[in-house]
């Protein structure tokens, strides 16, 4: 049971996790790989391997009114929030109350976003053995895996305003130079949102946000990959024009700028930044 009372609607719209889930995904993948030793499942003389998801041997139950590092979204009608907590997804009235689980089990599910019609969500899960992008109807009758393979990381998926596409940051490796990728909801491999050029080859893009008319996509960008002893600024907010194919840098803050969010009327943009030891908007 998860019970969270009286969330702040303003913070719910602004706070979002962008950290990759690679460490947790690798932890879950390591178990079935280690089991291939002789005598184990799939090894000589052992039983055949079981497909994912694995069967849980123990269950942990808890009740809480708080959570940290939560990704969440507000439904189009403003009445419900969807959020992740400890690898499961929940919905809850925006005014507070009891959280209702959407997903449970060993898979680590996170980064949920409501569809424009409010009937489905998109999220990232490692239930296949590695990160992939999924959609699910809120009645839980239909769950669709949009991406295949277990060699990529997917971060911050978002719906297009018409509900026909998902834009998500995709990259391979431990700290990938992620690129925004557009996935058709009806199926298909998708394609890069920003056409690759020599100028964009080293551009890492994360945290996409559509304008209400679908023409513009805002995102956080930096040159190259993450590294230790980083010097500010790291990220700045950029905007991609889908009609002209041009990229415009919109911020120049010393503390970086990331996680842009566009108001429903398209007139305002908010983003997060660092100041001294704090992150704010």
Residue ranges of domains in the chain: 1-41+63-147
Q: Which two tokens stand for residue 96?
A: 């507070």
The answer for residues whose C-beta is within 8 angstroms of residue 99's C-beta and 6 or more apart is 2, 3, 4, 83, 85, 90, 91, 92
The Cα 207–Cα 157 span in angstroms is 8
Query: What pLDDT score does 35 carry?
Result: 34
* CATH of region 1-41+63-147: 2.120.10.30
In the predicted model, is pLDDT for residue 53 greater than 80?
A: no
**DSSP summary character for residue 87:** T
- pLDDT level of residue 46 (50, 70, 90 thresholds): low
What is the structure's pLDDT at 1? Answer: 43
Structure tokens at 132: 């992939």
In the prediction, which pLDDT does 109 show? 97
More confident residue, 26 or 168: 168
Q: Residue 46 class from Cβ within 10 Å (0-12 exposed, 13-18 middle, 19+ buried)? A: middle
**Whether pLDDT at 43 is above 70:** no
Residue 41 has pLDDT above 70, yes or no: no
pTM summary value = 0.78
Which pLDDT does position 36 carry in this prediction? Answer: 35
Range 88-110 average pLDDT: 94
Output the pLDDT for position 50.
Answer: 55
**Residue 80 — pLDDT band, cuts 50, 70, 90?**
very high
């Amino acid at each position: 049971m998860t019970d969270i009372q009286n969330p702040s609607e303003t913070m719910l719209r602004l706070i979002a996790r962008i950290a990759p889930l690679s460490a947790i995904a690798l932890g879950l993948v390591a178990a079935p790989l280690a089991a291939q030793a002789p005598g184990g499942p799939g090894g000589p003389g052992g039983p055949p391997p079981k497909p994912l998801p694995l069967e849980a041997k123990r269950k942990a139950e808890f009740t809480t009114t708080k959570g940290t590092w939560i990704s969440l979204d507000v439904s189009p009608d403003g009445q419900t929030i969807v959020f992740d907590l400890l690898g499961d997804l929940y919905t809850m009235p925006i005014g507070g109350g009891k959280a209702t689980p959407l997903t449970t089990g060993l898979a680590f599910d996170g980064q949920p976003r409501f569809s424009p019609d409010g009937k489905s969500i998109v999220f990232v899960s490692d239930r296949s053995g590695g990160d992939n992008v999924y959609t699910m109807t809120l009645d839980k009758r239909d769950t669709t895996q949009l991406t295949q393979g277990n060699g990529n990381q997917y971060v911050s998926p978002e719906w297009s305003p018409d509900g026909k596409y998902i834009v998500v940051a995709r990259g391979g490796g431990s700290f990938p130079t992620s690129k925004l990728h557009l996935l058709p909801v009806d199926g298909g491999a998708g394609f890069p949102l920003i056409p690759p050029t020599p100028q964009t080859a080293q551009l890492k893009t994360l945290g996409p946000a559509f304008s209400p008319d679908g023409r513009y996509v805002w995102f956080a960008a930096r040159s190259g990959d993450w590294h230790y002893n980083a010097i500010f600024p790291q990220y700045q907010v950029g905007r991609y024009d889908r009609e002209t194919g041009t990229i415009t840098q919109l911020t120049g803050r010393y503390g970086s700028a990331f996680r842009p969010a566009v108001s429903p009327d398209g007139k305002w943009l908010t983003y997060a930044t660092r100041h001294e030891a704090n992150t704010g908007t």
